[in-house]
Amino acid sequence: AQSVTQPDIHITVSEGASLELRCNYSYGATPYLFWYVQSPGQGLQLLLKYFSGDTLVQGIKGFEAEFKRSQSSFNLRKPSVHWSDAAEYFCAVGTTGGGNKLTFGTGTQLKVEL
Amino acid sequence: NAGVTQTPKFRILKIGQSMTLQCAQDMNHNYMYWYRQDPGMGLKLIYYSVGAGITDKGEVPNGYNVSRSTTEDFPLRLELAAPSQTSVYFCASSSELENYGYTFGSGTRLTVV
């Protein structure tokens, strides 16, 4: 069965600093990987996704993520964080067969200091 | 363009009561899902559907039921509410045409007392 680990429960960065959120997955075949963001009291919004091809994927709001098969990782990055990026971030792994079910990590809460 | 609509947004139930959480999507997505979110636990899949008339259990189905009579609607039924079902419930939909990315509703916060 697939699984996702987000080792950092909370991260605090200063506005304007760079950001990297870690995600490790476990899956037997080539995974489909996603990052979602959740603002307080809201649903989840898709930031970016990896299916195949270029291992560096660009998303919305200036985020990018890099798929590293050798490390089973899909870390999310942003070169300069804005105060509005404060939210909870979820990594997910999925398969296209069997109903396209996603398995989510437990999330990383990002706090941005002004 | 409404996307995925969930109702109600908030609800308080007494132990043993029943209720239905409504979910509707207007994107003609064939896949629909119900997840629950508990603090520090991420999202857990309750039930999912790959099309009208087809549903299947997810990771945490006990205490819930679903039906999918149309492509648009995917209601979640709680028959005998228990405190363990206090959670935030999210409905989502997806399709192959959108490369499987989920569109989420805004959630239903349920408290069982």
Model confidence over B93-113: pLDDT tens digits? 998 776 678 999 999 999 999
- Write down the pLDDT at residue A100: 83
Give the one of B94, B103, B107 whose C-beta lies nearest to A100's C-beta: B94
H-run or E-run covering A35: strand A32-38
For A61-91, write each residue's pLDDT tens digit: 999 999 999 999 999 999 999 999 999 999 9
Segment A1-23 mean pLDDT:
95
- For residue range B39-80, what is the model confidence (pLDDT) as tens digits? 888 899 999 999 999 999 999 999 999 999 999 999 999 989
Chain A / chain B CB contacts < 8 angstroms: 59
- Residue A6 and residue A25: Cα distance in Å, rounded? 9
Put simply, whether A8 touches B (Cβ < 8 Å) is: no
Nearest to B30 by CA among A36, A96, A51, A29: A96
Q: Which residues pair with A73 in a beta bridge?
A: A24, A68
Contacts of A107 in chain B (CB under 8 A): 40, 42
d(CA A1, CA A57): 25
Which among A42, A46, A99 has the least Cβ separation from residue B106?
A: A42
φ/ψ (deg, to 5) at A28: -75, -30
Give the gap in angstroms from C-alpha B80 to the nearest C-alpha of chain A.
26
